[in-house]
Amino acid sequence: MAAQTHLFKCLTDNYGVLVHDPVTGATAAIDAPEAWAVDAALQATGWQLTDILVTHHHGDHVGGIVELKERHGCRVTAPAHERQPIPAVDATVTGGNTVTVGRLVAQVIDTPGHTAGHITYVFPDDKLAFVGDTLFSIGCGRVIECAPEIMWDSLLRLRELPDDTLIFCGHEYTQANIRFALTIEPDNPTLKARAAEADRQVAAGQPTIPTTLGEEKRANPFLRADVPAVAAAVKMTGKPAVQVFAEVRERKNRF
Ligand SMILES: [Zn+2]
């Protein structure tokens, strides 16, 4: 039986998500923005929390860990390179490691850039990727702790996943990201369709995620820094993709 997911909003614009193995009953929270919201999601689903899989150390991703661990006795898995600021860690992982949630197996991919030790959890059998604040729908995370080259490499690593991989990210930023992306590729048909879809979803009170990697590859300017039209849009035709990426990211910072 396939993994089940349950997505929920928390804090101001964060997403929490539960991943559930219906065979064993094991359930992981991907990050723990705040304990009460995770508990409400557990109540809504009837699932029992066995694991917390942490993507990175920012407070809006780890704030609920201590309370949830006290209440549920769950195992906390965190990125090896960010063990220090993350509370109550039981196990650390890095790229190439695997994590099991019941019978589900997640592969860990190193995706530094937003933070220096940021990791992504991919469940290949179910084609689910939990990318934290590395990739957003039509956007990417701010490059805070690393050089742009590092972030671009991380995005290239994610871009190698199958196109039908469902991408779960840490925030609802899609409409703002689309407004920016349209300044880079105003005539991109996938992007224009995504803009209409996101408007409809938000008006209906629905989340705009998960998205798929295939759609992101066609519409997300941060995954398209090596596409000639994107380089041309920032007047960098012929320049290395990593420089185009850095320029697009810089423009988004100022947008
Ligand atoms: Zn973050």
Rounded average pLDDT over 54-65:
98
Query: Which two tokens mark 12?
Result: 């101001």
How many Å apart are CA 143 and CA 249, to the nearest integer? 8
Task: Tell me the percentage of the chain whose pLDDT exceeds 70.
Answer: 100
Which of 107, 128, 127, 103 lies closest to 119, judged by CA? 107
Q: How many angstroms separate the alpha carbon of residue 69 from the centre of ligand 1? A: 21
Q: How many angstroms separate the alpha carbon of residue 142 from the centre of ligand 1? A: 8
Let me know: does 231 contact 238? Beta carbons within 8 Å: yes
> How many residues in total does the chain contain?
255
pTM for the full predicted model: 0.97
Residue 1 is predicted with a pLDDT of 76
Catalytic center residues = 56, 58, 60-61, 114, 133, 171
Q: How many angstroms separate the alpha carbon of residue 41 from the centre of ligand 1? A: 22
Residue 92 is predicted with a pLDDT of 98
Rounded average pLDDT over 98-107:
98
Residue type, 73: G
How many Å apart are CA 3 and CA 100, to the nearest integer? 12
Q: How many angstroms separate the alpha carbon of residue 143 from the centre of ligand 1? A: 10
**pLDDT reading at 91 higher than 90:** yes
**pLDDT reading at 186 higher than 80:** yes
Residue 213 is predicted with a pLDDT of 98
Rounded average pLDDT over 50-60:
98
Chain mean pLDDT for the chain: 97
Which of 172, 185, 195 lies closest to 231, judged by CA? 185
Query: Which two tokens mark 73?
Result: 């006795």
Q: How many angstroms separate the alpha carbon of residue 34 from the centre of ligand 1? A: 14
Tell me the per-residue pLDDT of 190-242, one tens digit each, with 9 for 90 and over.
999 999 999 999 999 999 999 999 999 999 999 999 999 999 999 999 999 99
Task: Tell me the percentage of the chain whose pLDDT exceeds 90.
Answer: 99
Distances (CA, A) of 248 to 136, 138, 169, 235: 15, 12, 20, 11
Rounded average pLDDT over 75-104:
97
Reported as a pLDDT band with limits 50, 70 and 90, residue 89 is: very high
Tell me the per-residue pLDDT of 114-167, one tens digit each, with 9 for 90 and over.
999 999 999 999 999 999 999 999 999 999 999 999 999 999 999 999 999 999
Reported as a pLDDT band with limits 50, 70 and 90, residue 36 is: very high
Q: How many angstroms separate the alpha carbon of residue 1 from the centre of ligand 1? A: 32
Rounded average pLDDT over 94-109:
98
Q: How many angstroms separate the alpha carbon of residue 58 from the centre of ligand 1? A: 5
